[in-house]
Amino acid sequence: MRDRDLYAKLLGIEDPWYVRDVDPRLEAGEVEIFISRDERAELPCPVCGAAAGRYDTRTRTWRHLDTMQYKTLLTAEVPRVKCAEHGVKQLKVPWAEPGSRFTAMFEALVIDWLKEASVSAVARMLRMTWDEVDGVMTRAVARGLERRQSQPLRNIGIDETSFQKRHEYVTVVYDCDRKHVIDVLDNRRQFDLEEFYFGTPLEHLQSLESVSMDMWGPYVQATLIHVPDAERKIAFDRFHVAKHINDGVNKVRVDEHAELRELGDRTLTGTRYLWLKNPENMTAKSRLRFEALRGSSLRVARAWAMKEAARQLWSYERRGWARRAWKRLIGWMARSRLPPMVKVGRTLRAHLWGIVNAIVLGATNASLEAVNSKIQALKKRACGYRSRARFRSAILFHCGGLELYPSAHLVHTNS
């Protein structure tokens, strides 16, 4: 079999396209394949498919999968046609997507590698520039978002994740049912979340059953404005409520530890994680020490008891019972004479309506917290991102549940 026939078979090149020549430049480490189109074949408009006249021809080159250890290039004379309705358009080629300088199969390889390694690592492995690899990722995400069908939303989660140091954040909107990121917003302002709601069909906002979030005011205000009946759908996530309470317990410990050290008492030295950890997850040695501490007259022991009481209040099914139980706990905090816990109690009282919603609706951001951990791992692997656009693209690539591969690759692999 001649080289031209072999490469035509390997590439899946079919009439009216054909392999005209193969140039193996072994010293340069390259193989260049020249592809032409039968001039007698009809030229369709790439937009409407109607027969069109030839306008001119442009030479285009794409990188393909390597032949053995040799970098492989496809070069073709691609006609441009003049359509009566759509004007001058370049003819589509079956081996690559418009606007790309890589074949669909090569882009699919890059996408597979990107799922396993950083942009820089993929660039080194495949002898590409950083911008070329980033371009493949950006096009893959754009394809995936275009293919994603607009579907009704039932339960969504909203949370911030750090973009850079100095309190730089983006907002992640997550579909809790389909387990993928819906969108990544530039900041955590009310305006940013409102932009998301403006771009969501009204019927999808109406279908929402729960919107799980932390107690960040801008998120709450944007949701109250745009989501129908939001005051019964906003759910303050258990994880964030627990974080507020844990912060209060830890502040009590810090203050008490400072006082005891001045008296030469080191009872609380090295106990930070004992008060924050679930006793069921402690080692036997830690549990013995903790049992003695929590049964003492320490102020932090009283604060911890409030934390434990809160942990038991998430199993209610009726709104009235849940509200009464939390009001009792908040009253206990208010009377505790422990300033950090009094402050936590005021926060819980102001947001009790959303806490009760979370309990009754069974809404949680637990899966979104796992996604946030994955996002931070991606950021660490990439040694950070310089722009929000690239950070957004990486999050959607890895966590968006998108169909990323080029159409030409899908057709080729399914045939």
- Does a structural domain hold residue 348? yes
Q: Supply the pLDDT for residue 280.
A: 83
Q: Which residue has better confidence, 258 or 9?
A: 258
- Asked whether residue 279 carries a pLDDT value surpassing 90, the answer given is no
Domain boundary among 77, 95, 113: 95
What's the confidence (pLDDT) of residue 49? 87
Instruction: Write out pLDDT tens, residues 202-244.
Output: 999 999 999 999 999 999 999 999 999 999 999 998 999 999 9
The count of structural domains within the chain is 2
pLDDT in tens, 237-246: 899 999 999 9
* Residue 266 in domain: yes
- Whether 132 is covered by a domain: the verdict is no
Instruction: Dump pLDDT digits (tens) for 168-188.
Output: 899 999 999 999 999 999 999
Structural domain includes residue 90: yes
Residue 22 bridge partners (DSSP): 33
> What is the pLDDT at residue 1?
46
Overall pTM surpassing 0.85 (yes/no): yes
The answer to whether residue 280 sits within a structural domain is: yes
- Domain of 355? 245-361
Q: Which of 95, 128, 145 is the last residue of a domain?
A: 95
Asked if residue 297 is part of any domain, the answer here is yes
Asked whether residue 164 is domain-assigned, the answer is no
Evaluate if residue 121 carries a pLDDT over 50: yes
- Tell me: pLDDT of 150 over 90: no
pLDDT band at 166 (very low <50, low <70, confident <90, very high): low
Tell me which of 95, 117, 151 is where a domain ends.
95
pLDDT of residue 80: 92
Is residue 316 in some structural domain?
yes
